[in-house]
């Protein structure tokens, strides 16, 4: 396509009409553009934690994790080390690094006091450190883990590229508890932007930190 400043008035009008038509079709069929990532949405998780506990007796484990694809190079290594150093500065926080065998590295963060606010601050720091150095596209997701009264572990997953959350509950090996996830969606929706497209609710089998 020619640069915008080289388009003739007639050509420009045609493009405007096409854009308007696409916008109309999106509205007609209920399609919407993906939400832009906003890391500050992570700070709404503590409110969601209070709602989960009040409504369902679900409590935070104090563990969370950030998953990202490794990139070779000094700049990426420095950004990664910076994020770990920020977290390690808190004596009540432990951070470990796990490679999942699928090309992703997980920084698993554990708050000894199980403070969701402090945990989310640490997860935000990891994301922000990588994003600020231009490595945002390498970020996959951030998980905050909870435990149901019956012992099931729940991951509240933040999808960086979608800017949305969804619940994931693993039940046995490569089995998920979909009915419970749908139930949780109704609770999380009160505090968080929940992913509407359930095909994006990817299973994170045995995700690092889930078993703690």
Helix, strand, or coil here: 48? Answer: helix
pTM: 0.82
20 lies in the same domain as 80: no
88 lies in the same domain as 102: yes
Comparing 67 with 22, the larger pLDDT belongs to 67
173 lies in the same domain as 109: yes
Tell whether 207 is covered by a domain. no
Is residue 57 scored above 90 in pLDDT? yes
- pLDDT, one tens digit per residue, over 15-38 is 445 444 444 444 455 555 556 679
- pLDDT, one tens digit per residue, over 131-186 is 988 999 999 999 999 999 999 999 999 999 999 999 999 998 899 999 999 999 99
21 lies in the same domain as 75: no
pLDDT for 20 equals: 46
Percent of the chain at pLDDT > 90 equals 66
**Model confidence at 87, in pLDDT bands (50, 70, 90)?**
confident
pLDDT for 14 equals: 42
pLDDT for 203 equals: 98
Tell whether 135 is covered by a domain. yes
Q: Considering its fold, how many domains does the chain have in total?
A: 2
45 lies in the same domain as 118: yes
Nearest alpha carbon to residue 113 among 88, 95, 93, 97:
93
Sheet holding 139-147, edge to edge: 93-99, 104-111, 59-69, 139-147, 153-159, 164-169
| DSSP label of 196 | S
Q: Tell how strand 139-147 and strand 59-69 pair up.
A: antiparallel
Report the CATH number that the domain containing residue 44 is assigned in CATH. Answer: 3.30.70.1710
- As a whole number of angstroms, the distance between CA 40 and CA 162 comes to 14
24 lies in the same domain as 78: no
pLDDT for 83 equals: 83
Is residue 56 scored above 90 in pLDDT? yes
Structural domain for 19, as ranges: 7-34
Nearest alpha carbon to residue 56 among 190, 164, 196, 165:
190
Are 185 and 192 in contact, with CB atoms under 8 Å apart?
Answer: no
Is residue 100 scored above 80 in pLDDT? yes
């Amino acid at each position: 396509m020619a640069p915008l400043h080289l388009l003739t008035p007639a050509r420009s009008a045609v493009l405007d009409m096409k854009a308007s038509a696409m916008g109309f079709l999106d509205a007609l069929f209920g399609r919407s553009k993906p939400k832009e990532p906003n890391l500050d949405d992570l700070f709404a998780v503590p409110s969601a934690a209070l709602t989960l506990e009040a409504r369902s007796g679900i409590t935070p484990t104090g563990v969370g994790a950030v998953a990202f694809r490794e990139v070779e190079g000094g700049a990426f290594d420095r950004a990664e080390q910076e994020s770990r150093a920020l977290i390690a500065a808190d004596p009540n926080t432990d951070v470990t690094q796990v490679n999942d065998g699928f090309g992703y590295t997980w920084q698993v963060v554990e708050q000894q006091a199980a403070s969701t606010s402090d945990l989310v601050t640490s997860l935000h720091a990891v994301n922000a450190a990588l994003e600020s150095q231009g490595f945002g596209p390498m970020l996959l997701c951030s998980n905050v883990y909870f435990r149901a009264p019956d012992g099931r572990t729940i991951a509240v997953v933040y999808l960086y590229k979608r800017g949305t959350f969804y619940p994931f509950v693993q039940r046995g090996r490569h089995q998920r508890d979909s009915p419970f996830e749908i139930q949780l969606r109704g609770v999380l929706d009160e505090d968080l932007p929940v992913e509407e497209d359930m095909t994006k609710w990817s299973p994170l089998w045995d995700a690092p930190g889930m078993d703690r």
